[in-house]
């Protein structure tokens, strides 16, 4: 019988958790518990997780391959495509959480640090509406 913890998802519970009422720490704990219960820690090396993250990202990209920019913005209007894209995005997030757990990286800290660097690298005044990157 699976263990029960406050952060473990049970069938039907996912509908109750949303971005507005679920913390990143809760998602990390759900992922940690999922991996632990299946004894997958032995397979979750940073190398394997990074490779799996790249593979899942490629699977997400497949949904947008060969469509126009405008069509890519409309894909989720089709419920079946929305679900498929959502599942691939969830896989990307799952591996991101597992990799952060494996490396003991605080996602909020590293994300905010990176955004601060990006803000300095791409100031609003010189970057607004431009897609090119500044040369080093």
pLDDT for res 1: 37
pLDDT in tens, the chain (136 residues): 344 454 556 656 666 899 999 999 999 999 999 999 999 999 999 999 999 999 999 999 999 999 999 999 999 999 999 999 999 999 999 999 999 999 999 999 999 999 999 999 999 999 999 988 766 6
Residue at 17 is within a domain: no
- Full residue range of the structural domain in which residue 64 is found: 25-115
In a domain, 133, yes or no: no
Q: Is residue 4 part of a domain?
A: no
Whether residue 19 lies inside any domain: the answer is: no
- C-alpha of 94 from chain center: 6
Number of residues assigned to the chain: 136
Number of domains in the chain: 1
- The pTM of the full predicted model, rounded to 2 decimals, is 0.85
What whole-number distance in Å separates Cα of residue 127 and Cα of residue 123?
6
In a domain, 67, yes or no: yes
Does residue 47 belong to any structural domain of this protein?
Answer: yes
- CATH number of the domain enclosing 75: 1.10.287.1080
Residue 36 is predicted with a pLDDT of 97
In a domain, 122, yes or no: no
- Report the Cα 110 to chain-centroid distance in Å: 14
């Amino acid at each position: 019988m699976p263990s029960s913890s406050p952060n473990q998802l049970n069938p039907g519970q996912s509908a109750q958790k949303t971005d507005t009422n679920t913390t990143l720490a809760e998602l990390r704990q759900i992922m940690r518990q999922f991996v632990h219960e299946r004894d997958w820690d032995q397979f979750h090396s940073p190398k394997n997780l990074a490779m799996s993250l790249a593979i899942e990202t490629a699977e997400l990209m497949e949904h947008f391959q060969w469509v126009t920019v405008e069509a890519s913005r409309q894909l989720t209007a089709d419920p079946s495509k929305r679900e498929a894209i959502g599942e691939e995005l969830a896989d990307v997030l799952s591996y991101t959480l597992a990799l952060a757990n494996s490396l003991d990286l605080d996602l909020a800290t590293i994300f905010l640090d990176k955004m601060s660097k990006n803000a300095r690298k791409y100031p609003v005044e010189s970057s607004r509406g431009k897609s090119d990157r500044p040369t080093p």
